[in-house]
Amino acid sequence: MEKEREAKEKEARERTKLVEKLLKEVERERAKQREKQLLKERERKDGGTPKAQRVTIKLKVTPKPSVGEKTEAEESSVKRIASEESADIVDKKGKGKAVEGSAEAEVNPKEDHGEEVGIWGGAGWDSELSDLTSSGASGSGSAGVSALPTPPASVGGTPEVQRLCTIARCRVPLPPFSLYRWKCCSACRKQYREYQRARLGRVAIANAAATAPPPEGPVGPNGTPPAPPPLDLPAPVWRERAERTPAEVEALRAHTAQKEWERKENLRALELAGVHPRKYREPRETKEDTEENDKGTTWTVATAAALKQPERRVEGARACIGRLCEHVIPSEIEYDWTMCGGCRGRERRKAERVLVKEGKLPAPAAGAVLDITGDFPVVEVPKPGRCMYADCGIMMPADAEGPAAACEQCVRRRTAQRRMPGRPPGSRNKPKPKLPDEKPLSTQTPPTDAPEKPLEAPKKRKRVSPYPTYQCREILLKDFGTRFRGFIEAQSYYFLIRGGMGPQPPAQSMFDFSGEYSVVAVDLDVVARKSEIEQGVHNVKDAFARAGGLEFSPTSWVSILGKPGGVVTRFACVHLVNVFLPIRVPGHQPNPATTKSMQGELEIAVLPDDSHKYFPGEKTIVRFRLVG
């Protein structure tokens, strides 16, 4: 077992190394592609054009009848052109065979082929026709162009591959490399940057603890110094702006600038990407306060009122950064914090609970009541047209009355924190039921002259029926027909495989079906409506006969139930089942046809149904048995 495990581990390590090697090669190829793309983009930006290719153009010229041989100047010019062309051919390694042939033709001037060759010096595709003249005697005589050069293929940039975020669980599209040079999106960069900072901080603390000198005091059982006793520290107090030191102000300014840069970077990346990442959270929807007109993004009524009316927002208003909070707060000039009062109080209490758990703060007294009304800061002198709360960045509507009025979002926040009867202040859970001998809290003193409430009658327990419940009669009949046809087919297959009835009769089989359904009735007195009930029972019996191909006898037995007050009716039937026999063997007598007789009984009970709180009902229970 150990050898197999070692072999598997070795194989896994080799596979991991191979995958890492392949990933490195892929990254290397991607880097090369990015470098090529950068070079092409730089050439495109600089306005550079592809190098001009050297092209040979053959011009057919009629030979001069009066001149038999060329002059010395013409021969020297032809030799010079041929030498330059041969050097260019050697550099291109076989790309100018036509040029070579033309050069050889001009080197041997005595062999007159009836044509002269003019060589284009590659001045560019924008040159005039005068640049294509031959050297020497090309000016005399009429020349015709025999073949035009094919233009060079356009060297266009290859389409850039769509980049994706390298984080496997994100994989959102990234902007082009020229606009966004990072390999992951801004949201993932922010997350990993914060994680890296926290990790480096933990590593620094661990290194400092490892290099610290050993303690001089008593040592604990594990070689570590004993934990110091918990300090009786006061609760953390938020300092106002006037009490901050210059260093704290500078650190706060740098922190604000960093957060603002990260926010702008995230917005820029989202606009360039065009697709929101998975971590992007849409505004929260509520079941109660939603606007039906806004089909795209549903905001709460309080926030939508401020967003759809920009004139109602104060200058520089922003949204609270608290989790699942959409409270609009004023600008940084009026309001120092980035969260509303409710979120700040919640974060402060969370920090206090952590300090209490670590033993740095004393635990609160037993029975202490939390009052969260102090989390909402109220301005001393309300400004005209503004809300009474300092953390509100929405202007008051024109029809507001009173100097200490509150806007829509503050009213909604205040009513959400309203204490319900029998619910202690600050608690959001449902109150526990009080026992008869339980004493109330000291903060809630019930009046002594209040009369004692009588005990309520126990609630009626809902009865559980032993029969399957169907929504209506049609669904019950459909299920019955499906099950009955399946039973008959199973019987046929059984006799077909068995080879017929045989000398001994087969064992008896039984089909059983039961179910119930309820309808709204006039009243719960079923016995008083016996005639109507019997008519409905016969309708149910006929529907069962049609669904299963049965034929019930016209005789029925009716019984009256005393306590529930119901009516029970029974019907009987005889059903003949055709038995499928195997194909007869040639030369033997045919097998006689055989049928199987089965006895059936249908019971329909109609009972009152009082399960609903307001409407009386009528329950119909159907049971069918077929034995044979």
- CA 185-189-190 angle, to 5 degrees, is 120
Cα–Cα distance measured from residue 79 to residue 71, given in angstroms and rounded to the nearest whole number: 13
| DSSP structure string for 567-601 | EEEEEEEEEEEEEP-PPPPTTSPPPPPEEEEEEEE
Length of the chain counted residue by residue: 628
| Among 471, 459, 523, 305, residue whose Cα is nearest residue 397 | 305
pLDDT in tens, 131-151: 434 444 444 444 444 444 444
Question: What's the confidence (pLDDT) of residue 517?
Answer: 92
**Could you give the C-alpha distances from 77 to 118, 221, 488, in angstroms and in order?**
12, 104, 110
DSSP-based three-state secondary structure for 31: helix
Q: Which letter does DSSP use for residue 173 in this model?
A: B
Cα–Cα distance measured from residue 86 to residue 554, given in angstroms and rounded to the nearest whole number: 119
* Residue with token string 């966004």: 180
Return the structure tokens found at 296. 């795209």
Cα–Cα distance measured from residue 399 to residue 617, given in angstroms and rounded to the nearest whole number: 53
Return the structure tokens found at 557. 């037995």
* Residue 603 β-bridge partners: 570, 623
> Dihedral of the CA atoms 265, 266, 269, 271 (nearest 10)?
-110
DSSP-based three-state secondary structure for 537: helix
> What is the pTM for the complete model shown?
0.31
Contact (Cβ atoms closer than 8 angstroms) between residue 567 and residue 534: yes
Return the structure tokens found at 250. 């500078």
Residue 21 identity (one-letter amino acid): K
pLDDT in tens, 506-524: 677 889 999 999 999 988 8
- Count the alpha carbons within 13 Å of 358 in the hemisphere toward its beta carbon: 10
Phi and psi, residue 579, nearest 5°: -100, 120
619 CB burial (10 A radius; 0-12, 13-18, 19+): buried
Q: Which letter does DSSP use for residue 58 in this model?
A: E
Cα–Cα distance measured from residue 410 to residue 378, given in angstroms and rounded to the nearest whole number: 11
* Residue 266 β-bridge partners: none
Return the structure tokens found at 443. 């903060």
Q: Which helix (H) or strand (E) holds 560?
A: strand 552-560
**Could you give the C-alpha distances from 322 to 188, 327, 371, in angstroms and in order?**
20, 9, 20
Q: Which helix (H) or strand (E) holds 498?
A: helix 473-498
User: Residue ranges per domain, the chain?
Assistant: 1-47, 56-145, 161-210+247-280, 285-416, 473-627
Regions of the chain where pLDDT drops below 70: 47-159, 209, 212-244, 266-309, 369, 373, 398-404, 416-463, 499-506, 579-594
Q: Which letter does DSSP use for residue 140 in this model?
A: S
Question: What's the confidence (pLDDT) of residue 442?
Answer: 45
Phi and psi, residue 110, nearest 5°: -70, -25
Question: What's the confidence (pLDDT) of residue 505?
Answer: 61
Instruction: List all residues 6 or more positions away from 74 whose beta carbon is below 8 Å from its beta carbon.
Output: 109, 136, 137
User: What is the separation, in whole angstroms, between the first and last Cα of the chain?
Assistant: 61
